[in-house]
A and B are shown apart, each in its own frame.
Chain A
Amino acid sequence: MTPLVQAEDLTKDFANGSRALRAVDAVSLEVGAGQVLGVVGESGSGKSTLGRLLLRLLEPSAGITRIDGQDLAALRPRALRRFRRNMQMVFQDPFASLNARMTVGDALAEPLRLHRGLRGPALKEASGALLEQVGLTREHLHRYPRAFSGGQRQRVAIARALASQPRFIVADEPVSALDVSIQAEVVNLLQDLQRSLGLALLLISHDLSIVEMVADRVMVLYLGRVMETADTEALFARPSHPYTAALMQAAPGARRRESRLVLSGEVPSPLDPPSGCVFRTRCPFAVADCAAARPVLRPVGPGHLKACIRDGLPL
């Protein structure tokens, strides 16, 4: 069976004056129905751009995306608009993603009308059912977003994303704007819905511990490139790329080691990325060969790939 979401060598260049900024560089991935792919990496590593490319909210500069076998580039604008009901996005900021002047009922009615052609009592019934699905009640339909707490607003945003009965959802930092005590309920909700509806979910987060909880597979990005990708358990148990290990050890509360891998310096400018391995300027294990050529993503275990030329590092 082909996976629901497939991307091959997705690349995005943004024009930046006379130079091009490569935000996403030849990323390939697959997400099956009922699967969660976690995408981690620091600010500017291309996570959001990748999500937007997969949903065709951005035109890729190169590469192919297929959803359920359908090449998105082959769809004409009208067909693409119709196809959009299959894929939705949940954003970080539940405050900005809802229109303050629309009741929750109106916010849900819009996609229900557009994508499912519902009207009248059927529309009302479906809106109520959506709210119940995300743990709110029908009474909430008449309220405005400002009457909701942050966690409730994120529930409404999730209900809105579910309205078109999508099969693929990109959740871009869905809980980063929420307080700790509220994050857990939204994470649980996303996970329950994803499982019961068999959704393919791309979960973008800078919080490794949440990704570890929820994702089946994880992809680590740095300056637009995949550094490492593996099944969640394997990645956390045996990180194989120096950047993955450093990211894990930098997270506060990470299992203490005698020698913690601390990265010096900062992420280089994406306008002028280092030659060869883009991570080499911060890598404690870099050798002369790291500057020579871009490391290919190569297997280090079943389904476990890394883009690093060195092996047997003390990570």
Chain B
Amino acid sequence: MLSTDLAEAAPTLRIDGLQTSFHTDSGIVRAVSDVSLAVRHGETLAVVGESGSGKSVTGLTVMRLLGRTAARIESGQVLLRGRDGRVVDLLALPERQMAKVRGRDVAMVFQDPMSSLNPVFPVGEQIAETIRIHRGASRAEARREAVALLEQVGISDPESRVDAFPHQLSGGMRQRVMIAIALACDPLLLIADEPTTALDVTIQAQIVALLRRLQLERAMAMIFVTHDLKLVEEIADQVAVMYAGQVVEQGPTAEVLARPLHPYTKALLDCVPHGRAAGRMRPIPGALPNPLAPPQGCRFHPRCPHAMPACVAAVPALEQAALDRVVRCIRWREVA
């Protein structure tokens, strides 16, 4: 970040002590059991973790899109700093106001664009609809803007593609359309939940470059959810590592990847292949925890090479390890 102005440095979104659970027939799934995060204007925060770690539920909680599930937001705040500088807790907003925030201030892009696009409407109409709803633009204006947006997200021949139906486009193009819809109202924050996981690498590279460019041009804040640490390196300024519903470490990407403080981050970095010379791959022993009965104390302790009795006794708190780094491990000083 260039500016040292305090107001500039205030986060666009700040999540504090968030807990979201699902009350299911077989028990309570504490999908998000303690998440605190912050992302600033013009900055990309990667949220990285394996399946079931609570990445998507965190994003859906921010968007308040968990309505029709058995989800319960147990505690926490989701503080958004609006265009006027005022901070509101999205979790406390009435649904009518939240509906305005969605799309206009905070937008989301998902892994599978087919499930979020309506198959029976041309893509241009779906982009235009967002523009009409939030900005009250006329039909003709909205259509013109839809074409311009398609062009901005790198769709060639946008004048004719604007009338295409989702099934007539490739996976990469559909994802571009989703990005166009998300950006239609120039949101303050974009949450991209594994937007490239279903795509081929050469298309993934295009979409990542596109998101990075748009984020810089618009100075948006972006939360980029992924399970791929190597992708984190490419796209994010800050990274938060999640394990079993908790943030276990957060800090500037380059520092976290070069000098991880949490044993899980370390282990995760070790088990991605490092080329032939590096020899055998080093897996993390054991399996991901059962979400209905997560381990006591530190949730990583059954798989952690540094675990000791105190790790089982209590859930470690998120500790400040440096000015801009936090870690949830009682032994981080010895381990790092």
Contacts and interface: CB of A to CB of B under 8 A. Distances in A.
Interface of A: 42-43, 149, 151-152, 179-185, 187-188, 191, 206-207, 209-210, 212-213, 232-233, 236, 246-247, 249-253, 262-267, 282
Contacts of A149: 287-288
A184 B271 CA distance: 6
Given A151-B287, A184-B271, A213-B275, A253 B233 contact: yes
Contacts of B229: 180, 253
Interface string B212-253: 000000000000000111110110000000000000000000
B231 A253 contact: yes
Nearest to B209: A262
A212 B273 contact: yes
Given A149-B288, A212-B275, A188 B201 contact: no
Given A188-B281, A206-B200, A252-B233, A232 B276 contact: yes
B51 interface: yes
Contact of B283 (A181, A233, A250): A181
B204 interface: yes
B281 A187 contact: yes
A230 B280 CA distance: 22
Contact of A206 (B201, B233, B234): B201
B125 to A, nearest CB: 23
A250 B276 contact: no
Given A181-B271, A209-B272, A262-B205, A252 B230 contact: yes
A179 B243 CA distance: 12
A188 B268 contact: no
Interface in B178-204: 200-204
B86 to A, nearest CB: 38
B112 interface: no
Residue picked from B173, B201, B227, B230, most chain A C-beta under 10 Å:
B201
Interface of B: 50-51, 156, 170, 172-173, 200-206, 208-209, 227-231, 233-234, 267-268, 271-276, 280-284, 287-288, 303
A5 B209 CA distance: 41
Contacts of B50: 179-181
Contacts of A282: 202
A232 B273 CA distance: 15
B200 A42 contact: yes
B167 to A, nearest CB: 14
A266 B170 contact: yes
B273 A209 contact: yes
Contacts of A247: 201-202
19 contacts: A179-B51, A180-B227, A180-B272, A181-B267, A181-B303, A182-B287, A182-B288, A185-B283, A188-B281, A209-B273, A209-B274, A212-B273, A212-B276, A213-B275, A249-B205, A250-B202, A251-B201, A263-B206, A266-B173
A172 B204 CA distance: 21
A212 B274 CA distance: 9
A188 B280 contact: yes
A206 B200 CA distance: 8
B211 to A, nearest CB: 13
